[in-house]
Structure 1
């Protein structure tokens, strides 16, 4: 992993991913660096597992499913303009507070299933990070592909239980991967255990 603005640091005797910025969720800090907890971040887990995300630092990012800002705050620490889409009003209030300390982070109280509602705000991006708890996760990714520059990457965390709470996760993952084929070429996949149960990480490239 070589991302400008992301490093490994020792926190409490453990070697952990870290970004440089003000703390957000009570994570350990040292000399301006903040630990990136992979058990609270799907993207952090992808990096811990050595996936080739294509992130170098400085990218323009569209983050779908930003919640209260745990992961997107780390992204904004090393990325360029970062558009953070979240549907629920309560976590967006926390997200706005996170953004006050990060001038490149732009919270949007919008539904990721309806990209037309924020198309007038979001510029073309290099990367989409998607972590949404909804059915139709492939449809969300394909609908938002409009924002990706040619060759841009999708970093997707598929939540099996959000798609179908009773189906076998492996079958759910296959269905989502099939759905992505309309807009993306899948480059890499990995299960996110032990950090997150019943999640599949996907790195895909826009066609």
Structure 2
């Protein structure tokens, strides 16, 4: 991934969401993108140009557009109609984005459109976040990576975030994934943690 003077960048054309430019490259703001925050906290984080990504919870396409600057294909799944409109506009400028309006908890809805991927990136603010990751595992190749952005308050506003974090890890491991790394996304995103897993 491209970094200049400590700033994370991507090389696509700008003007997608009013992002800043630096030396002809798009600034990937860690305060607006959880993946960018992960890349700042864990500098070894990388994206390969041959990578296919299944992105669950694509929202308006802000982070999706930066992914598309780096990888081969992004299958961008979003359920809500309003952000989907923005995502479709983003996909018009990035031919390697496949926008899919569907529920990430029901992958049968989009199974005909998705090839085998090397990464599942999930940013879905729903209570059953771990279960959603697991039901999408058939799309992930062996050795592929799952990056789950966990917002504890989305799971249970009354529960201890540490307990939710531990329960989520256990669910992922019970589902057959190997948890390789975890981190909090402070100071960029409060009450968020990242869980990085691999499919054996």
C-alpha contact 1:54 1:153 (8 A) present in aligned 2? no
Q: Distance in 2 between matches of 1:31 and 1:53?
A: 22
Q: Distance in 2 between matches of 1:56 and 1:43?
A: 14
Instruction: Please state if 1:193 is matched with 2:186.
Output: yes
Instruction: Please state if 1:17 is matched with 2:8.
Output: yes
Instruction: Please state if 1:8 is matched with 2:22.
Output: no
Unpaired segments ≥5 residues, structure 1 = 1-5
C-alpha contact 2:116 2:141 (8 A) present in aligned 1? yes
C-alpha contact 2:127 2:154 (8 A) present in aligned 1? yes
Count of aligned positions: 198
Q: Distance in 1 between matches of 2:45 and 2:103?
A: 25
Instruction: Please state if 1:179 is matched with 2:171.
Output: yes
Quote the residue 1:153 is aligned against: 145
C-alpha contact 1:51 1:188 (8 A) present in aligned 2? no
Quote the residue 1:86 is aligned against: 78
C-alpha contact 1:145 1:183 (8 A) present in aligned 2? no
1:21 is paired with a residue whose SS is coil
Q: Distance in 1 between matches of 2:194 and 2:49?
A: 20
Quote the residue 1:3 is aligned against: none
Give the TM-score, by structure 2 length.
Answer: 0.95
1:141 pairs with 133, 140, 144, which one? Answer: 133
Give the TM-score, by structure 1 length.
Answer: 0.92
Provide the alpha-carbon RMSD of the alignment.
1.3
Instruction: Please state if 1:44 is matched with 2:39.
Output: no
2:99 is paired with a residue whose SS is strand
